[in-house]
Amino acid sequence: MNVICLVAGLLVAPLGEAVTLQWTHSIQKTLWAEDYRLQGDRLNLTSARVRGTGAGMEPPADAVYRDGAWHYTPALPLLPAVSLRHSPHVAPYVVCTAADCRPLPDWLPTLPADTVVDLKACPAPAPQQAKLVTMRP
């Protein structure tokens, strides 16, 4: 079974079968969000939201304005990965799972300040086995 992971070199953070990726546009300072769901070993971009327009950020013609953002479904094929540029010059991406939302460096604590991180499928971690300990007097 696969899960969605953040991968940067040898750093790997398993996230689950669905994630939301959020970031602030570096010029317009507008919030973007994209929802991804795992489909086999590929990522399906199921929906997206943007809280404004400008600087190449226009939502598609079929977008619907709701709750302060333009909502739409991108017409993309299944993706093998999404590459994210982590840089000290912009606010970090925020990655949300069903249980938690954290900035990218919190998911990968030893992440270099300037690197590329991939969001992609990886094998699910094996469940931890309970260890049997024998106590002797």
One-character DSSP codes across the chain: -EEEEEEETTEEEEEESEEEEEEE-TTT--EEEEEEEEETTEEEEEEEEES---TT-PPPTT-EEETTEEEE------BSEEEEEE-TTSPPPEEE-SS-EEEHHHHSTT--SSEEEEEEEEEPPPPPPPPP-----
Q: Report whether 30 contacts 130 (CB < 8 A).
A: no
Looking at the chain, the whole-number percentage of residues with pLDDT higher than 70 is: 88
Question: What pLDDT sits at residue 67?
Answer: 92
Which has the closest alpha carbon to 86: 56, 57, 63, 109?
Answer: 109
pTM for this entry? 0.86
Give the tens place of pLDDT for each residue, 36-92.
999 999 999 999 999 877 666 678 889 999 999 999 999 999 999 999 999 999 999
Least confident of 9-13, 26-30, 79-83, 117-121: 26-30
d(CA 39, CA 48): 17
Nearest 5°: the CA angle 18, 57, 98 is: 15
Mean pLDDT value across residues 99-119: 95
Question: What pLDDT sits at residue 26?
Answer: 73
